[in-house]
Amino acid sequence: MLYRAFCLVLLSVSTLALSPPASRTSPPAGAKIVRAGTSTSGEYSTFAAAVAALPNDSSSQTIFIYPGTYTGQVNIQRSGPVTVLGYSTNPGAYSANQVTLTASVGADTAGSNDASGTLRIHTNSVSIYNVNIRNGRGAGTQAIALSNYGDHVGLYACQLVGYQDTLLTNQGKHVYLQSYIEGTTDFIFGQLSQAYFEGNTIAVSGTGWITASGRASADAGIYLFSQNKVVLASSAPSGTKTYFGRPWRSKNFGLDCCIFETLIFVTDYARVIFKSTTVTAPLQTSLWSIWNTGDERTDHVTYGDYATSGSGVSSSASRPSWAPLLSSSAAAAYTLSSALGGDTAWIDKNYLI
């Protein structure tokens, strides 16, 4: 009886394990097809052309992208649900991705962070699988790979690569699962979103900060990281160190995420939690950072970590009073369901651990 009970427990646990499809190498019926260099009638040679061809209605639409690198910015803003499928022989692994969207636009020329995004999402119910999204602008200005303003948006086994402000997860409920996110400065940031990160590789390409939460009040906004890895990117220079995050947000006449911020007053309600993180990239001793000396922005922050391990964590780690090491009971309160207010039916559970 004990053996049978043990087997049943193992079975129930296994049903929660990752179970993405074995491959995704052909388009589903009805999908719009993107193929680099195509001249076939009914296909599109760019991702932008396929997005532009989507009907502006409430129907569910799918875009399938064959292998290739597709250049230029794209904004998804139709009213109905959109699923984007990248060709992959192993859809559960971002390392097998063969589709890349790329641009090199900075906020200094685009006029705002959002406008610099290689991919911009300004609608609800978007799911993206096995697509690499890059902003190649590099150091010197904010330059977004993904700008996410939608609700119920999921990224599954994708790669997001930039330098400063790689991922703007700004409003709505989002999940980032089994993906790769690379950057240096404040490279996961935003203001209002409820964002859940699980099973990702977070790659640090230089000394800086992983997150910059701009939560401006005690609202539902949160960045919750569970069971992720923090590693050094292959391009990281010697001596690179990082922080889990620093609080960001200034009031600027209502122009959210504008590159030029006119400071009126600072609101400091950043909320970021890291749980069960394996860290091999060197973390700064304090793990967390103020915004700037004399402009700390830590009055109302909710920062904390639990079960952080790995060679990147200093044996002399000394967390600040406003970013404590969480107890097991405090950490248990932070779950996928709590982060998203119980609204989880829209998530592809095959990509949850």
Which residues have a catalytic role annotated? Answer: 186
- The H or E element containing residue 129 is strand 126-129
Beta-carbon contacts of residue 129 (< 8 Å; ≥ 6 apart): 24, 83, 84, 85, 86, 88, 91, 156, 157, 158
The token duo for 239 is 């001596």
- Identify the three-state secondary structure at position 306: strand
Q: What is the DSSP letter of 351?
A: G
Comparing CA positions, the residue from 137, 134, 276, 300 lying closest to residue 199 is 276
- Identify the three-state secondary structure at position 2: helix
For 265-296, give the DSSP string.
-B----EEEEES-EE-SPBPTTSB--SBTTB-
- Give CA–CA dist 152/168, Å, rounded: 15
Q: Residue type at 45?
A: S
> Burial level of 314, CB count in 10 A (0-12/13-18/19+)?
middle
